[in-house]
Amino acid sequence: MKVLLEVEAQTLAEGREWTRQRLEERLQAQADQIGALCPQSGLVLKYVRMREFSLMTCVGTVKVRAAYGFSSVMQRWLSPAREVLVVVDGALWLWSLIEDRFSGTTQTLDFYHGSQRLWELAHYLYPHDAAAARAFVEPLLHQLRHGESSRVITRLEQILPKPSLQDHPAHDDRADPQLERQIQYFLNHRDHLDYQAVAERGAPIGSGAVESQCSQFQDRFKRTGQFWTRPGLRNLLALGVMIQNNTFAYLWN
């Protein structure tokens, strides 16, 4: 039994080291392809130099050399990013923050938030006809998700002058500021609706997963009376990540 445990421990250690090396090689290949751009503004960094970064993973420390430069916009030294994608809901203060700190990035309105707003518009247009509301919104949702956001915008713009729904018995939209506000919401975000292109690049089209993950970590580490040192919080977060990734068992091998 002792020999078995020793061989098992040695084999697991060799496997972790092989995995660590492979991970290091792949991350280095990714880092070599990244241009020296500011991850927030998208502008070229100044005084670029190479720097070694140590990343803590479940198979050990991985070291990667990457570009490091000075951002004149943020007035600080930064690591570059290949591309920065921002996905947020429709809160006005968030978009003001994006314009201030994430200009030049690929910006996307949360698809599920936008879907909810389209449904609200449909129910507003047809408050007493669920079938008509569904018939109105479902084609728009399909177009919105599959790269035809321009058709959605065109359809909404047709409603604003009220040629098509003015005589409909379900609703009379003449001089209706609430209707105009709901449609104007999408017109303001016409450049943030290319969900198919974002999804094809492997990026999320909604912010729910990140919001949920942040909430989980906050609930665990920001309870009343809890205080953490930086090293302590970093170690606990590493354990939390291992649990989320189902790799916690490797800690005991």
> Per DSSP, what are the bridge partners of residue 1?
none
Asked if 35 and 80 touch (Cβ cutoff 8 Å), the reply is: yes
DSSP string, 183-200: HHHHHHTGGG--HHHHHH
61: pLDDT strictly greater than 90: no
pLDDT of residue 78: 65
State pLDDT tens for residues 170-227.
555 455 888 888 899 999 999 999 999 999 888 889 988 777 777 776 777 777 777 7
pLDDT of residue 23: 85
134: pLDDT strictly greater than 80: yes
**Using CA atoms, how far apart are residues 239 and 251, in angstroms rounded to an integer?**
9
Instruction: Count how many Cα atoms sit within 13 Å of the Cα of residue 64 in the half-sphere of its side chain.
Output: 22
Look over the chain and give the mean of its residue pLDDT values, rounded to a whole number.
Answer: 80
Average pLDDT of 74-90?
Answer: 73
Q: pLDDT over 70 for what percent of the chain?
A: 81
State the DSSP H helix or E strand holding residue 217, giving kind and residue range, or none if neither: helix 208-221
With the C-alpha atoms ordered 172, 177, 182, 188, is the resulting torsion angle positive or negative?
positive
Q: In what order do the strands lie in the sheet with 46-57?
A: 46-57, 60-71, 76-78
Residue type (1 letter), 163: P
State pLDDT tens for residues 35-54.
777 766 667 778 777 777 77
Average pLDDT of 4-27?
Answer: 80
DSSP string, 145-178: HTT-HHHHHHHHHHHTT-SSSTT-TT---TT-HH
pLDDT of residue 165: 47
pLDDT of residue 169: 52
pLDDT of residue 166: 47
pLDDT of residue 162: 54
State the DSSP H helix or E strand holding residue 219, giving kind and residue range, or none if neither: helix 208-221
Average pLDDT of 81-100?
Answer: 79
> Residue 166: what are its φ and ψ, rounded to 5°?
-60, -40
pLDDT of residue 39: 63
**Using CA atoms, how far apart are residues 65 and 46, in angstroms rounded to an integer?**
18
Q: Which residues lie below 8 Å from residue 234, measured CB to CB, with a gap of 6+?
A: none
Compare 30 and 104 and report the one with higher pLDDT.
30
